[in-house]
C-alpha cells in the first residue's frame, strides 16, 4: 500500500483494475512502468495528494489488476488498449478530464491516451521514454545492448517467460539494479522491492509483461508510425523529464524526438538512473509540480 492511500478494485471496461487513491483537488492519474506497479509512486504520491486527487492504478497485467491472456496480434496489451482501460477507469470514477503522468511503459500508455482521447487529458507528464516508434528507429548496437529487454521480452511465448521463471527474484533484482544510477537496490524501499519480486514470481504476470513488450515491437510500433504519417500531435501541454544518462538520452536528442509530437513541450533532466521517482523523489516533484500547477 502507498501510505495514506485507500485501495479498491474498479471495473474498467473489459478488465478490473486495482486502484490506489488519496487527496483532493484536480484529478491526477499516475501510470507506472515495467517491471514495477503502483509502488513505484510511493515516495511521491503522498506529496502530490496534498494538492491533487491522486489516482494510481496498476496497469492491466501488473500488480493486482486483471491479467488477460494475449492474442496472436498482440493487441491485448497494446498501449491503445491499455489507454482505453484508463479512460474506462476515469468514466467509472466520474472524471471527465485529468492530468496524467506516466513513467516507462506507463508513459507509453499516457501519450497514446492523449493522442486517442485528447479531450480527457489536461496536462501530460512523460518520464523516461521517447515514443515507441522513434525508439525503435534510434536503435544501434549500443542501444540494443542497453535495451536488450525490448527484444528479449518480445520473443515468442513461452521462451522469455520460462527463462525468467527459472529465477524470477534474481532477474528482477538484476534489472532494477542495472537501471539505477547506484548500480544496486539501495533506491528501492523494502515494501516496493517485495511487491516487484512477488509480481515477477507470478506466471500470469510474467506472461503479461512479455505481452506488453510483444505489443511494443508490433502493434504499438505500427500505431506510432500511423500517427506520425497522419501528423497527429498531442493537444495537451507536455512536460518531459528524463535522466541525463537514461534510455531516452541514448537516442542523442530526446527533446528533439518529442517536439514533432507535442506543440507545447517543456523539458527537464535529472542526474538519476531510470527510476527517477524512487532514486530522487524531490527531483521528480520539482519537475512536475510547477507544470501541473500551470507553469509551462
Q: What are the residue numbers of the active site?
A: 104, 274
* Rounded Cα gap, residues 222 and 181, in angstroms: 32
Q: Per the structure block, which three cell numbers stand in for 157?
A: 511465448
* Rounded Cα gap, residues 269 and 271, in angstroms: 7
Sheet containing 27-31: which strands, arranged edge to edge?
6-12, 15-23, 53-57, 27-31, 98-103, 121-127, 238-243, 265-270
Of 76, 73, 82, 74, nearest in space to 100 by CA: 82
Cβ distance 51 to 23 under 8 Å?
A: yes
Query: For residue 131, how many C-alpha atoms fall within 13 Å in the half-sphere facing its CB?
Result: 28
Report the phi/psi class of residue 94: left, alpha or beta, with left for phi > 0 and alpha for psi in -120 to 50. Answer: left
Q: What is the DSSP string of 18-85?
A: EEEEEE-SSEEEEE--TT--GGGGTTTHHHHTTTSEEEEEPPTTSTTS--PPP-TTS-TT-HHHHHHH
Amino acid at each position: 500500500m502507498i501510505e495514506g492511500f485507500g485501495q479498491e478494485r474498479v471495473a474498467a471496461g473489459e478488465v478490473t483494475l486495482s486502484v490506489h487513491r488519496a487527496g483532493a483537488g484536480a484529478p491526477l492519474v499516475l501510470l507506472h512502468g515495467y517491471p514495477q506497479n503502483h509502488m513505484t509512486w510511493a515516495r511521491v504520491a503522498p506529496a502530490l495528494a496534498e494538492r491533487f486527487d491522486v489516482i494510481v492504478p496498476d496497469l492491466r497485467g501488473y500488480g493486482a489488476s486483471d491479467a488477460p491472456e494475449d492474442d496472436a496480434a498482440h493487441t491485448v496489451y497494446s498501449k491503445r488498449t491499455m489507454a482505453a482501460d484508463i479512460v474506462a477507469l476515469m468514466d467509472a470514477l466520474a472524471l471527465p478530464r485529468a492530468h496524467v503522468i506516466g513513467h516507462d511503459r506507463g508513459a507509453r500508455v499516457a501519450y497514446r491516451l492523449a493522442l486517442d482521447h485528447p479531450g480527457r487529458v489536461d496536462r501530460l507528464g512523460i518520464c523516461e521514454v521517447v515514443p515507441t516508434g522513434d525508439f525503435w528507429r534510434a536503435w544501434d548496437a549500443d542501444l540494443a545492448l542497453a535495451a536488450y529487454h525490448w527484444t528479449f521480452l518480445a520473443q515468442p511465448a513461452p521462451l522469455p517467460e520460462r527463462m525468467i521463471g527459472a529465477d524470477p527474484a534474481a532477474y528482477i533484482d538484476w534489472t532494477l539494479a542495472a537501471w539505477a544510477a547506484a548500480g544496486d537496490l539501495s533506491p528501492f524501499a523494502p515494501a516496493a522491492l517485495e511487491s516487484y519480486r512477488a509480481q515477477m514470481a507470478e506466471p500470469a504476470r510474467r506472461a503479461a509483461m512479455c505481452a506488453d513488450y510483444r505489443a511494443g515491437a508490433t502493434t504499438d510500433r505500427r500505431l506510432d508510425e500511423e500517427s506520425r504519417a497522419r501528423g497527429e500531435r498531442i493537444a495537451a501541454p507536455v512536460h518531459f523529464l528524463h535522466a541525463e544518462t537514461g534510455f531516452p538520452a541514448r537516442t542523442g536528442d530526446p527533446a528533439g524526438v518529442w517536439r514533432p509530437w507535442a506543440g507545447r513541450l517543456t523539458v527537464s533532466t535529472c542526474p538519476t538512473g531510470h527510476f527517477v521517482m524512487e532514486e530522487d523523489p524531490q527531483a521528480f516533484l520539482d519537475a512536475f509540480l510547477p507544470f501541473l500547477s500551470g507553469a509551462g
